[in-house]
Amino acid sequence: MIEEKGLNFIAEIIEEDLKNGKYKQIITRFPPEPNGYLHIGHASSINLNFGLTEKYGGYTNLRFDDTNPVTEEVEYVESIKEDVKWLGFHWKNELYASDYFETLYEYAVRLIKKGLAYVDDSSSEEIAALKGTPTEPGKNSPYRERTIEENLDLFERMKKGEFGDGAKTLRAKIDMAHSNMLMRDPVLYRIKHAHHHRTGDKWCIYPMYDFAHGQSDSIENVTHSICTLEFVPHRELYDWLIEKLEIYPSRQYEFARRNLTYTITSKRKLLQLVNEKHVEGWDDPRMTTISGMRRRGYTPESIRDFCTRIGVAKRENMVDMSLLEFCVREHLNKIAPRRMAVLDPVKLIITNYPENQSEEVQSENNPEEENAGGTRTVMFSRELWIEREDFMEVPAKKWFRLAPGALVRLKSAYIIQCNDFKKDGEGNIIEVHCTYLPESKSGNDTSGIRAKGTIHWVSVSHAAKAEVRLYDRLFTIENPGDEEDFTRFINPDSLQVIQEAYIETALTTAKAGDKFQFIRKGYFAVDKDSSPDHLIFNRTATLRDTWEKESRK
């Protein structure tokens, strides 16, 4: 599945084109429709389009495919720009298909003058009824033989707003018996008296996708117009229009849409999750939108790495979510400072450590970096918070953590031995009592004793409180996108909120977007809603793949 960087089949075509001198520079475009936020599938298309021009020289335009006035919003335009920039790509021109409405109108007139387009008064039902089937030819519309003059007049009047929505269309005059159904006199323009987010009320006729996309490519001299496989049948019309209009010969190439397990990659369905409030918004950290992943703590590098690893395919297949999670762990492991945080606290008392005393210990920031990224000071004292799960009253086999009599090392501090514990009336452990070995301090250990396990901790009197949000995959099944009623498969445990976790002092100055590894607990990022009085950390990923055994069941 993993293709080597740059050697995908589209890159091969480009290398060939450059070798033959067909183009001096490569021009691609990323053409989102501003009707939703970008998701991980779009990231793959962005990485491909921008990656190719970075590699081969040339540039990529960001073109908003905004020819449908009804579903588009300025909020989406802004979010798309932010997301592309955040991923680390730079477009040459910010363009809008709607800026070409005048040119597209002239192109339509050109086709009419060549006798290659006509105004049809049929309703959409009537047009559909005459379309035929893949095995049966269609029938000509009764309006097909209108004269050029009549068509020019009617088309102009369509533009002027003389007719109501759907009363007329402009259709290409190709062949109602064509083997490709899309070539059976496709509709080029429809009447829609709707307000457009950029052109306002200037237009009441709007070009169809097929009469806007390829033409916009030509206007921009796009050399390689890359789209997803569902547009394969459109390529014939794309080429026909370019040929008849005698405009710049852009070429269309198709690659397989990227879908990911345990998530949704359809703007329409993502919008449904937002509208029905299954998630907090488009940037909910459980969403595989770019903004959701950013808020969750993903780095642009990890997303680009993922896109490059999955490469470009000619056939659709599902990509395993674990690979995306692997990529973020890989990157965060290299860059995230290590910190200590206790998510499910239980108190540990070191009975032979003096009361009211505390001391500094030094802990590595990141062992993956040169010189371990330096160290930071962590305060140690008699009373500590440790994880509840790190103590077992009756230890299991191969248990190397705390249990009565057991020895463990407190990360970057001392070896301790557990002597006793206290329970509440319901049998919950409320205190663990230990003694420490003063000569076992990390970095200066003369005890000669080796503890098999190491656990993390924070000092009760120095710790700060924080909210921690544990995010998990949003769906419980591999392919929710295949289900009509996909919201039924939302993972009920996709968000678990810990109101009172304890964090070490160094974390209290963390700012929105900062990323850390909480030792032994996973990778965490500061949420955008976090404030100094109420710190909020989002779990980006666990340290290991916890879903692996699930999918093998």
Closer residue to ligand ATP, CB minimum distance, 313 or 510:
313
Pick one of 33, 82, 99, 344: the residue that binds Mg ion (CB under 5 A). 33
Stretch 310-349: interaction string toward ligand ATP, x if CB under 6 A? ----------------------------------------
CA–CA separation, 96 and 347 (whole Å): 60
Give the closest residue to 39 by CA, choosing from 265, 201, 244.
Answer: 265
Smallest gap, in angstroms, from Cβ of residue 232 to ligand ATP?
12
- Answer yes or no whether residue 297 interacts with ligand ATP by CB under 6 A: no
Query: Which residue type, as a one-letter code, is found at position 484?
Result: E
- Answer yes or no whether residue 295 interacts with ligand ATP by CB under 6 A: no
Closer residue to Mg ion, CB minimum distance, 230 or 550:
230
Give the closest residue to 287 by CA, choosing from 430, 71, 32, 474.
Answer: 474
Question: What would the two tokens of residue 480 be?
Answer: 């929710």
What does 527 bind: Mg ion, ligand ATP, none (CB cut-off 5 to 8 Å by kind)? none
- Upper half-sphere CA count for residue 133 (Cβ side, 13 Å): 2
What does 258 bind: Mg ion, ligand ATP, none (CB cut-off 5 to 8 Å by kind)? ligand ATP
* Helix, strand counts (H, E) of the chain: 13, 27
Question: DSSP string covering 213-267, please?
Answer: HHHHHHHTT-SEEEEEGGGGGGHHHHHHHHHHHT----EEEEEPPPEETTS---H
What does 526 bind: ligand ATP, Mg ion, none (CB cut-off 5 to 8 Å by kind)? none
Closer residue to ligand ATP, CB minimum distance, 261 or 265:
265
Question: What would the two tokens of residue 309 be?
Answer: 């690893």
Closer residue to ligand ATP, CB minimum distance, 268 or 534:
268
Closer residue to Mg ion, CB minimum distance, 34 or 345:
34
Closer residue to ligand ATP, CB minimum distance, 227 or 466:
227
Which span sits near Mg ion by CB under 5 A: 28-36, 382-390, 407-415, 431-439? 28-36
Question: What would the two tokens of residue 456 be?
Answer: 């993390």
Pick one of 42, 235, 338, 515: the residue that binds ligand ATP (CB under 6 A). 42
Which span sits near Mg ion by CB under 5 A: 32-40, 155-163, 443-451, 492-500? 32-40
Catalytic positions are: 33, 257, 267
- Answer yes or no whether residue 45 interacts with ligand ATP by CB under 6 A: yes
Smallest gap, in angstroms, from Cβ of residue 32 to Mg ion?
8
Smallest gap, in angstroms, from Cβ of residue 257 to ligand ATP?
4
Which span sits near ligand ATP by CB under 6 A: 41-49, 145-153, 425-433, 466-474? 41-49
- 267 in Cβ contact with 43 (< 8 Å): no
Write out the binding residues for ligand ATP, residues 245-274 only, by CB under 6 A.
257-259, 265-268
Give the closest residue to 473 by CA, choosing from 257, 259, 261.
Answer: 261
Question: CB atoms < 10 A from the CB of 161, how many?
Answer: 13
CA–CA separation, 305 and 416 (whole Å): 42
Smallest gap, in angstroms, from Cβ of residue 286 to ligand ATP?
17
Give the closest residue to 87 by CA, choosing from 263, 304, 260.
Answer: 304
Number of residues in the chain: 553
Pick one of 71, 103, 140, 228: the residue that binds ligand ATP (CB under 6 A). 228
Name every residue whose Cβ is closer than 8 Å to that of residue 278 and which is 6 or more positions away in sequence: 487, 490
Give the closest residue to 74 by CA, choosing from 219, 214, 200, 208.
Answer: 200
Q: Using CB atoms, what's the residue nearest to ligand ATP? A: 41
- Answer yes or no whether residue 41 interacts with ligand ATP by CB under 6 A: yes
- Answer yes or no whether residue 535 interacts with ligand ATP by CB under 6 A: no
Give the closest residue to 5 by CA, choosing from 39, 60, 40, 52.
Answer: 52
- Answer yes or no whether residue 207 interacts with ligand ATP by CB under 6 A: no
CA–CA separation, 256 and 382 (whole Å): 60
With both helix axes pointing from N to C terminus, report the angle between 321-335 and 300-310 in degrees, rounded to the nearest 10.
140
Which span sits near Mg ion by CB under 5 A: 29-37, 89-97, 305-313, 463-471? 29-37
- Upper half-sphere CA count for residue 21 (Cβ side, 13 Å): 0
Supply the DSSP symbol for 59.
Answer: E
What does 308 bind: Mg ion, ligand ATP, none (CB cut-off 5 to 8 Å by kind)? none
What does 42 bind: ligand ATP, Mg ion, none (CB cut-off 5 to 8 Å by kind)? ligand ATP
CA–CA separation, 409 and 415 (whole Å): 4
Pick one of 44, 218, 299, 440: the residue that binds ligand ATP (CB under 6 A). 44
- Answer yes or no whether residue 77 interacts with ligand ATP by CB under 6 A: no
Question: What would the two tokens of residue 277 be?
Answer: 């409030």
Closer residue to Mg ion, CB minimum distance, 64 or 385:
64
Spell out where 382-533 has E strands: 383-387, 407-410, 415-423, 429-436, 453-455, 458-459, 464-471, 495-503, 515-518, 522-526
Query: Which residue type, as a one-letter code, is found at position 240?
Result: W
What does 390 bind: ligand ATP, Mg ion, none (CB cut-off 5 to 8 Å by kind)? none
Closer residue to ligand ATP, CB minimum distance, 311 or 337:
311
Residue 457 sits at φ, ψ, to 5 deg, of: -165, 165
Task: List interacting residues with Mg ion (CB under 5 A).
Answer: 33
Task: List interacting residues with ligand ATP (CB under 6 A).
Answer: 31-33, 41-42, 44-45, 65, 227-228, 257-259, 265-268
